Amino acid sequence: MAEQPGLSLKLVSNRWVGCTLVVVGLLLISIMLLVDLIGVGKMGLQAAQISGILFGVLLVLVGSGIRSLPDDSKTVGQLLAEKAESILNFPVLFWILVGFIIVFALCFVPPMFFDDSLRLSYFADYLPDLKPIGNDLHYNSSAISLWLQGSSPYELPYHFYPPLYHLVFSPIILFGPEQKYAVMTVLTLASFGLLFLFPWRAKANNHAIFLFFFLTGLISYGMQFELERGQFNVLALLLVFSSIWLFYKLPSFRYLSYVLFTIATHIKIYPGIFVMLFFLRWQDWKENLKTAIILGLLNVAASLVLGYKILEQFIQSLLNESSNPLWILPDKQPINHSVSAFLDKLAKNNDNEVPQEFADWLISSISWLQFVLLAIILLCAIIILWRTFQHKPNLLHADVFMLFIILGHLLPSVSIDYKLALLAPGLALLFTNHTLPDTKGQKLVFIGLTILMSSAYTLTLVPYIYRSGIFINAFPMLFAILIGLTGLNLLNRSWQDAL
């Protein structure tokens, strides 16, 4: 009895395992040949018989090889434990790729190669494209033209960009429609590349992760949508990253940093959430007060740059359009991944995302469910910010960068899928700042969260028309990334600066 816990490979030695496989293989071959003597008339059974013989031969050959290997004194449990331990120590990129491959196998391969037509069905008509290309750019440029002609830019319906937008983007009027779109496309692609430059220089050991997210983000559905519409979310995020980098790395350029951040906030409102990163040390209230006053004055000036009446018209336009039914129509709403739009989509159930009984219940419960989801989102934000405050004098951390990017997707009432292009640089920064924990249990949790976030991100690369169920809307993937981010933050033991 005392020898049982030390059960070694003397009982299950290489020779024993090899002989077993050889015997099993020979037995399988014999059975298949015996079936042949009985006589098999059906072609399917004959094919199964041949398969059994081939598999039996393979077992014999493998068993013969194992039989010749030297024995090992380690127990089977020890060998399995060593293998499991080595797998748990695989680099972070491996687990990112696991999540990517899972979604690739489920959402890219079947619709392309296993179409009902029995022909290759390449992704087509997967964007809700408009003619001419660059619709948003051309449309909003006409608002700039109105302003330059002495009229209010908000005379244009469905236009709700801040006043400073018209001043910053007025040079685009110098170009014709095609040249204008080409300029914006080049700016967007260049901005996307530059977003990876700031952390790339500081994270020399993680270039493979940056390359993965750069390439997948470059060809993603969100980036293609951004380019098709002529949008400038990527440019706005670059302005934010640049302003924060200048603020911390080149203090003599802080006023330029403040201006870049103000521009980002006043061409796309949601970058304003990054303002919390501009406070160097929370204990230094005098310096923080100075920063707050400067940023406050700059933002007031930016709001009034076209005059008080224009500001009033902008606020009214913003309030009107944020609740405009246009954004929740069934044909428009899948591309709006805000909390309210997601729940409205499920309640309408026009794509059979959920059982109809659940959709009917959701109609009467949508208000409190929206409250619950917003409460969870805010709770995750509080956890990440609080833990960062505990370990750092400021918020210059990859988790906070990613948190603000996610909040910029989820909190606005109108948040369109072209903003998904911003996930790639945020996740690249995040995963290059996280390493595997020390304990086995924490490693398993870390790996699970990494696979979850990678899978959710990869699903956002797939056009919504090729997703089904609740995943037709990007909200579940963004929510999963937020949950995973919160889990990684709770596991985190490294609080180095993000840039």
Note the pLDDT tens digit of each residue in 458-498: 999 988 888 888 999 999 999 999 999 999 999 988 888 77
Q: Which residues contact 59 (CB under 8 A, 6 or more apart)?
A: 21, 22, 24, 25, 28
pLDDT confidence tier of residue 42, bands split at 50, 70 and 90: low
Q: 128: helix, coil or strand?
A: coil
254 neighbors 247 (Cβ within 8 angstroms): yes
335 neighbors 130 (Cβ within 8 angstroms): no
As a whole number of angstroms, the distance between CA 331 and CA 479 comes to: 23
Pick from 29-43, 76-90, 200-214, 302-316: least confident: 76-90
pLDDT tens-digit map of 365-419? 898 999 999 999 999 999 999 999 888 888 889 999 999 999 999 998 888 999 9
pLDDT in the model for residue 204 = 53
pLDDT in the model for residue 279 = 82
Q: Kindly state the tokens that stand for 254.
A: 């802080």
232 neighbors 253 (Cβ within 8 angstroms): no
208 neighbors 93 (Cβ within 8 angstroms): yes
| pLDDT over threshold 90, residue 188 | yes
Sign for the CA dihedral angle at 107, 109, 111, 112 comes to positive
pLDDT confidence tier of residue 324, bands split at 50, 70 and 90: low
Q: 275: helix, coil or strand?
A: helix
Task: Say what percent of the chain tops pLDDT 90.
Answer: 38
What is each CA distance from 271 to 200, 237, 240, in whole angstroms?
22, 7, 7
pLDDT tens-digit map of 235-244? 999 999 999 9
Q: 268: helix, coil or strand?
A: coil
What is each CA distance from 278 to 112, 246, 256, 393, in whole angstroms?
47, 11, 13, 12
pLDDT tens-digit map of 270-307? 999 999 999 877 677 788 888 899 999 999 999 998 88
pLDDT tens-digit map of 52-90? 888 888 988 888 887 777 665 554 445 556 666 677 778
Average pLDDT of the segment spanning 200-207? 63
Name the residue among 136, 135, 126 with its Cα closest to residue 220: 126
| pLDDT over threshold 80, residue 228 | yes
pLDDT tens-digit map of 99-110? 989 998 888 788
pLDDT in the model for residue 75 = 46
**DSSP code per residue over 330-368:** TTTGGGB-SHHHHHHHHHH-TT--S-HHHHHHHHHHHHH
Query: In a 10 Å sphere around its CB, with 0-12 CB exposed, 13-18 middle and 19+ buried, how is residue 4 labelled?
Result: exposed
Q: Which residue has the higher pLDDT, 438 or 477?
A: 477
Q: Kindly state the tokens that stand for 429.
A: 């920064």
The single residue listed with the structure tokens 């006409």 is: 142
Pick from 51-60, 202-211, 320-329: least confident: 320-329
Q: Which pTM value belongs to this model? A: 0.86
As a whole number of angstroms, the distance between CA 401 and CA 378 comes to: 15
- Helical packing angle, 207-218 and 440-461, nearest 10°: 30
Q: Kindly state the tokens that stand for 58.
A: 């393979």
Q: Kindly state the tokens that stand for 180.
A: 């204008």
Q: Kindly state the tokens that stand for 50.
A: 């041949």
pLDDT in the model for residue 266 = 92
Q: Which residues contact 112 (CB under 8 A, 6 or more apart)?
A: 120, 121, 122, 123
Task: Compute how many other C-beta atoms are within 10 angstroms of the C-beta atom of residue 417.
Answer: 23
User: For 169-206, where are the alpha helices, taking DSSP H only?
Assistant: 177-195, 197-202
Beta bridge partners of 416: 336
pLDDT confidence tier of residue 8, bands split at 50, 70 and 90: very low
Name the residue among 205, 194, 116 with its Cα closest to residue 432: 205
User: For 40-106, where are the alpha helices, taking DSSP H only?
Assistant: 43-67, 76-88, 92-103
Average pLDDT of the segment spanning 208-226? 92
State in Å, rounded, how far the first CA of the chain is from the last one.
Answer: 60
| pLDDT over threshold 80, residue 11 | no
Omega before 132 within 30 of 0, i.e. cis: yes
| pLDDT over threshold 80, residue 124 | no
Average pLDDT of the segment spanning 296-320? 88
pLDDT in the model for residue 438 = 82
> Largest alpha-carbon pair distance within the chain?
97
Mean pLDDT over all residues of the chain? 85
pLDDT tens-digit map of 130-185? 788 888 899 889 888 888 888 888 888 878 889 999 899 999 889 888 899 999 99
96 neighbors 454 (Cβ within 8 angstroms): yes
196 φ, ψ (degrees, to nearest 5): -85, -10
pLDDT in the model for residue 59 = 87
pLDDT in the model for residue 1 = 41
Q: Which residues contact 396 (CB under 8 A, 6 or more apart)?
A: 244, 248, 277, 497, 498, 499
